Each structure stands twice: as C-alpha cells, then as structure tokens.
Structure 1
C-alpha cells in the first residue's frame, strides 16, 4: 500500500511539474517600457470605418470601436455599438481601422528618433533582437511618444562575432545560461542567437530561456534550421536562414566554410546560393511541412535583401537570388507557416520610417494576399511575442493600440502608408 501511495505521489509531482513548466513557457510578456507609456483616460468612439480586426477573417464594412481608458470595450458593426453620452466621436468614413502594427525585427541603427517615427507611421510595438538594452536609455528618456519596446539585449554569438558591438560571445554552456538569466533579469523579452553560436549551445540557451518564460529566435545561415528548431528554437530571423536546408550537402558545406572564414562572404555569396536553389523540390516541401508541425515563427525581412535594377548593369545573380527569397516566403505562408512582419529598421529601398510598409508590400509582391499580410503584421506577430491576450487584434478587453488609415489596405496594401491617426494605450499620438 505504501509503495502504491509513493508511486501515485511521484506521478502527481511529475504531472504538476510538467503543467507548471508548460505554464511558465506560455506566460504573457510585457514590454520593457510598459509603465512609461501614456495611459488613456477618455471614452472615445471611432465610427463608420472598415474594421479589419487582425484575426484574418472578414472585415466589417461599417464598423465602430469603443475605447475607455486604455482598453477596447466594444468592437463590431456600428449598429451593435451603443455609444455613451459624452463620448468623443472620431468619424472614420472612407478609412480603415486596424490593430497597431507589430515589428518583429527592428534595428535602431544609431537613429534615436526612429522608434518615435515608426510609431507615427503605425507601428505600436517593436522588437529589437540584438542590442544592449541600455542603448535604448535615451529613447526611453525622450519626451517623444514611443512604441512598446520589446528588447533582447545583445545577441549571443560565437567567436569571432559577426557584429562585436551588438553581441555577447558565449564560449560554453555556463556562460550562455548566465547571460540568458542576466538579460531576462534586466527586462529582455526574447533571446536571439546569431549564426556563429555553436550548435551545441543552442539547446542550453533555449532551455534556460524557456525556464524563464522567454522565447528564443535566431539568425542561422550556417546552422541547419531543422537542427536548431529541434534544439528548441521558437523563431527564425531572415528567410536566408533556410539556405542550408535547401542546398545539397556538398555545396552547403562549401558555403558554411566560406562564411566561417569570412563573415562578409554572405554579402554576395548568399545571392549566389539562393539563385541556384530549387524551390519546387522535395526538400522545400519537407521544410514547409516541418515548420508547420513545429509551429515555428519566421520573420523573412525581405526588404533588407531587396535588389532593384538601377541605371547601370543588372546583377542577374542578385535579381534571381532575391526573387527566390520572395517565392519561398510566399510558399511557406501558403503552406501554413507562421510568417510575421519585421522591418529591419532601415532598408535600401524605403525612406526612413517606412521600412515596415515596404516589407508588407514585398509580401504582397511575393504572392501573399493583402489579408494574410495584415494578419501576419498583427495577430501572428502578437503570438510570436506572446502578447496575443492583450494585443494583436481589435477585440473587447484588449489594449487600445489602433491605427486609422485612409483607404482600404485589403484592396491596395500601399494604403498602409496613409496613416491618419495612431493610438497607443488609448491615447492618440498622431
């Protein structure tokens, strides 16, 4: 009888531990500057809009949203919304209302006004996956309105690091685990590994981060994506991280060794590798199925790789390589992979502040529907950040991060540049 009781006790402890671990991994995440954001105090109704709620379903052609304080208290057709007396009314006829956009891959690049500019252009949450957290001190102290800041701290890289100023070099498991815990204590909301991180350390990093309830994403390029995901990686940064997965082993090893010898080899080498890929192969189909099965999030950042022919000679290799990156992005999304939108901060073919909108346009040019792109920019990204219970869609009870754009982005994605008003936490900032 005693043995049976002990067995039942051990089973109970095991199940309770497993349940606790699962809850820990899935705990909600807050932005680093949550307490610093403005707090809405008024009751505001935005009426007669095309309501695109972020969930990917049918838009409501004559919708309204009611905000009280910093929360959405009602959303739906205008006929179903009762507006209290004394409510401030915002007329939205001819405009579309969407959730605030979420940027999965933002780099400040020394431009301290860039987060504020992004907010004015409709991006209410940004994630910087690779910069010392204190580098945002001046941004946080600025009197300008700023988006929600989801920061990672320096990315973890091997030696020699690709970007020494933005990296923390990890040499063994103890060093990697200690760094994970230190940046989480400092307010990190994600851990990012860089491509020189030794593959054997990825599991140690993901295990340590998951124990703290923090996701891990990575720029791979010279580590096979499936191996990193098996080790626990939650997200993939850059579509180019799948190059090794789709390249024959011998060629893949040549590329890997060239990268190990010289970080700069990728600048042209990646285009050469991608121009030669066969995206109609069994390997590409298998990759898509694997990513769906694992629920991996992918932030392609197409705009940073974009190549447009100029007045001079056309670089046919870059043109073909970038076209392949676009095609794989569309292929993965249509297969059901969690594709999200990341701007990279500043990119070659967008004016300062508009890299995010350019990324959305490239998604459409690659073959994704406008609706799918908006869904990727809002609710799918919210799930990637683990903030979907509070943000990412226009629903009762969620935080009031909203953008009003003139026109219909479901018909023309370039309407996302026509920003009329931006609300964060129930406060209009534009």
Structure 2
C-alpha cells in the first residue's frame, strides 16, 4: 500500500499519487465509536481492504491476516473521519484538514473559482484530490455564492442576481458545471430567492447558506432550505419587534451596500436579542425541526479572540503554510463579524448566540458542525476541534457533538451510505485517538493516526496538532 507522509509544519501540497496494490490494514484491540449510540465498543479489530471497511469484530474472534499491515490500537479510540460543513478553502489549506482528522469538507464558495473543469478552480482541485494528486479531504463544492448585491470586498466567487430569471439561470450554471449544492447569501430579493429555490429543487440540488434577511427562516424552511449558516438574522425573526427590524433591514438591503445589512444583523445583535420572544422562537424551532433544516452555527468564527485579546495573532507557523489569498481573505479592518462597540459587547454577542444553539438543540433542531475556516483565527482543521468544544459549552453532550461531526453531517451531504460511521462497506476515513473523547472532547485533538481512503497519513513530528497563539 502507499503511505502519504506529511511534514508537521512544512511540506508541498501537491503529492504524486503512488501505485496502489490492494491494501489490507488491521487495527487491533481498539475501542470503536458507535456514533449512533454514543458509546465505544471495546477490544475490536477493524479490517480495511482496498480503502473500505471489510470487518469490525471482537479482537478474539478474527485473527489478523498474514498480509495485512497491523496497527496496534490497544488503549486507543477509533472514530470516523471528521466532517467540516462550512469552509472556504484552497489548495494550500487542504493538508491541514487531514492533519487534524478532517477527512471531508463542504466548500461554501471560494476564491477565483472558475466553473470550467481543468481550469485550475475547485472542480479541478476536487478531481486532483479524488485521484490522489493532491493531499486533502474529500470536497463537496458550491462553486458560486448567489446574492442580490454586488460584492467586491472579499475575494470569493459571488454571483449577482437581480431577477428571478437570473437566479434560476445561476442555479442551472452551477448544476451543469457539477456543483454539489446551491449556496445562497444574505441579500437576495424574496422573488429571486423563490426562483432559486424552485430551480434548485428541480435540479435536485440542496439549497444551503445564509438565510436572506428579507426572506426569514420560516419562508426559507418551507422552501426546502437544507442548512442555515451562522445563525444570521435569527434574532430578527424571533423578535417581538420583528416588523421594525425587518423594515430596517429592507432599507439597508435596498441601499446596495452589503456592509449596512451586516452592521444591522451583526453589529446590533445584542439590541435585537433584547427583544427576543420565546414563543416566536419556539415556533421557529418547531418549523426548523419538522422541515429538517440543519443549523451550522460556526460558533468558532463568532468567537473572535481579538475581542478579548486585541494583540492576538494566529499561529505564524500555520499561517505561513497558507496561500496569501487564503490567509488574508478577511482582514481585521474588513471583517463582517462585527462591528461591536466594545470587547465586552463582542463577547456578550457570542455568548448569546451560544445560548441560542443550546435552545435549538434542546428543541430538537439538528445542529451540524462547521467552522467558516478562512476567517482570522479560524484555521483549517484545528478550528473544527475548537468548534466541538464550543458546542459542548452550548449544551450538547460529547457523544452528541461527535455524532453531529460525523454521521449527521454525512446525512446532510447525502453521503451517510459511505462515510460518517465505522461500519462494514463504508470508506475507511478514520481517526485514531490516544484518549477517550466521550470523557473529554479535547481528546479529538490528540491524534495518533489518520486514515483517509484506507491509507495511513503519517506525521513526521508531533507538531501537527498546532493551534492558535492567542491566550485561551
């Protein structure tokens, strides 16, 4: 079999694909996570043949095969590969995901991504990963971000739609190019949104993204929104003064300046949240639950360390491995997470959003795991582990968080038949941990080995699990 060797702090992001003979790996005497039931099954042997899980059995029932590579799992814990449902990535970032056990990502719109296969965009990158030319996780792609306001402040591939016809045509464009889903954004006109939703349904593509402020969560859920990102605008929908805030949002959107809608929905979040109506919120929770809308709160991107530590900087060793476009996509002076008047306000807004996630979860709304990697301090791979910790603080149990980051995320990718759990017939995307994450969720960071497509990813030093240099 082939073994991809990644240096811990510096290596090329393009690795030639080695020849592969049918590979056999046995992981013996390991505790295997049953993600559905939230428990580890002790003393198991996992047999991997040609990239697929061929057997999961008690270790004393099935002796190792003579030709298999053996991995001793004694005292260790095997979980499915982790899935990040919200990233903006490029070629330079991909190895970092694998280093941190993230074997699948959903790219929600990225930089300079031409639609033509073979032109160097995300379609080519997805193909290169699938063929083993590039080291990185499996990619699910949006290719475009559909919005109603022209945007030039971020280096992402936004597509602008003024009319329902333009919106439907953009859906066809993404579908014809091979996109996996339709990504919508903040400032779509309601009529354009409905045209996009209708065409996405006809093209059998999930619709995901920001809930447009002039549409709201109720209409979006009824129009088959699959996942909603960042909790954006929910406090307006749940406000006792919804009409007032909705009118203000309409005026901000009609200005044609995207920063005005951000300043309202984000910068005045605490003021809006002060008018929170629990009965309205409960009704929205029920609607989201009944329509199976998944919520991707991305709490880690809402918890900017600069609110607490103004001089904080990302780990320079990790940033140095990322392309300039990736690491600088949103700079401190051009950051949509605020603005907040004070550090105290920024932290209070984050805590209020975290409380909202707990309320949603207790109401039965599906909470998914995503990070919005590419924003300041939200670095590829390591940020997913930080998001897991945030969700535990929000009120999910360790078992619920692990289920969300694996099989639940996989279901919302319509890929749970092949990834997301450790079962016979599924792809061998696996993470071997040194400690039990059901006891301490931080154990997901303590990685002993990663397997992707049944191949072992080895690190040449122990620095691969690096994080942020900001005080914690």
TM-score band w.r.t. shorter chain: 0.7 to 0.9
Of 209, 225, 231 in structure 2, the residue corresponding to residue 218 of structure 1 is 209
SS of match in other structure, 1:124? strand
Structure 1 residue 360: Cα displacement: 1.0
- For 1:403, the equivalent position in structure 2 comes to 431
Q: Which residue of 2 aligns with 1:290?
A: 287
What's the CA shift string for 1:237-268, capped at 9, x where partnerless?
11224232112221343245335534224555
Aligned to 2:251: 257
Cα deviation per residue 1:261-318 (whole Å; 9 max; x = unaligned)? 3422455541432454266711221121111111111111111111455357962222
Quote the residue 2:404 is aligned against.
376
1:68 pairs, out of 28, 42, 49, with: 49
How far did residue 394 of structure 1 move? 0.7
Give, in angstroms, the shift of residue 49 of structure 1: 1.9
From the superposition, tell whether residues 336 and 78 of structure 1 become closer, same or farther in structure 2 (CA, over 3 Å): farther
Which region of structure 1 is more displaced relative to structure 2, 133-142 or 379-388? 133-142
Contact 2:82 2:405 in 1 (8 A): yes
Measure how far apart 1:114 and its partner are. Answer: 0.7
Question: Are 2:111 and 1:117 equivalent residues in the alignment?
Answer: no
Deviates more, 1:246-255 or 1:275-284: 275-284
Residue in 1 aligned with 2:308?
Answer: 310
Between the aligned partners of 2:141 and 2:354, the Cα distance in structure 1 is: 27
**How do 1:231-246 and structure 2 match up within 5 A?**
231-246=223-238
Instruction: Look up the match of 1:48.
Output: 29
1:146 corresponding residue in structure 2: 136
Say if 1:76 and 1:375 are closer, same or farther in 2 by CA, change over 3 A: farther
Following the alignment from structure 2 to structure 1, what is the Cα–Cα distance between the partners of residues 425 and 295? 28
Contact 1:130 1:152 in 2 (8 A): yes
Q: Please give the per-residue CA displacement for 1:222-246, whole angstroms capped at 9, x wherever unaligned.
A: 1311111212211111122423211
- Give the Cα separation in 2 of the matches to 1:83 and 1:123: 28
Distance verdict in 2 for CA 1:165–1:407, change over 3 Å: closer
> Could you say which residue in structure 2 is the equivalent of 1:31?
none
Cα distance between partner residues in 2 of 1:272 and 1:86: 62
**2:28–2:72 contact (8 Å) kept in structure 1:** yes
Alpha carbons 1:63, 1:77 under 8 Å: kept:
yes
Provide the alpha-carbon RMSD of the alignment.
2.6
Residue 99 of structure 1 and its aligned partner are, at CA, apart by 0.8
User: Offset at 1:94?
Assistant: 2.5
Cα deviations by residue, 1:25-48 (Å, 9 ceiling, x for unpaired): xxxxxxxxxxx9996721111122
- In structure 2, relative to structure 1, the CA distance for the partners of 1:295 and 1:240 (3 Å cut) is same
| 2:146 paired residue number | 156
Partner of 1:33: none
| Structure 1 residue 412 corresponds to structure 2 residue 393 | no
Structure 1 residue ranges without an equivalent (≥5): 1-35
**Which protein has the bigger helix share?**
1
Match of 1:366 in 2: 394
1:65 Cα deviation after fit: 1.3
1:47 and 1:241 map into 2 onto residues whose CA distance is 48
SS of 1:104's equivalent?
strand
Deviates more, 1:355-364 or 1:57-66: 57-66
Task: Measure the CA separation in 2 of the matches of 1:307 and 1:251.
Answer: 25
Check if 1:201 corresponds to 2:192. Answer: yes
CA–CA distance in structure 2, aligned partners of residues 52 and 44 of structure 1? 18
Runs (4 or more) in structure 1 with deviation over 6 Å come to 36-40
> CA–CA distance in 1 between the matches of 2:253 and 2:19?
45
2:95 counterpart SS class: helix
The structural deviation recorded for 1:348 is: 4.2
2:167/2:193 contact within 8 Å kept = no
Q: Deviations over 1:98-143 (max 9, x none)?
A: 11111110112xx532112111211111111123355334686584
Q: Verify the 8 A CA contact 2:308 2:343 in the aligned structure 1.
A: no
CA contact (8 A) 1:238 1:299 kept: yes
In the alignment of these two chains, the number of paired residues is 393
The aligned residue for residue 39 of structure 2 is: 58
* SS of 1:105 mapped into structure 2: strand
Whole-angstrom distance in 2 between the partners of 1:403 and 1:39: 21
Aligned to 1:13: none
Give the whole-Å Cα distance in 2 for the aligned partners of 1:160 and 1:175. Answer: 14
Could you list the per-position Cα deviations for residues 6-39 of structure 1 after superposition, in whole angstroms to 9, with x for gaps in the alignment? xxxxxxxxxxxxxxxxxxxxxxxxxxxxxx9996
Range with bigger deviation, 51-60 or 309-318: 309-318
With normalisation by structure 1, the TM-score equals: 0.83
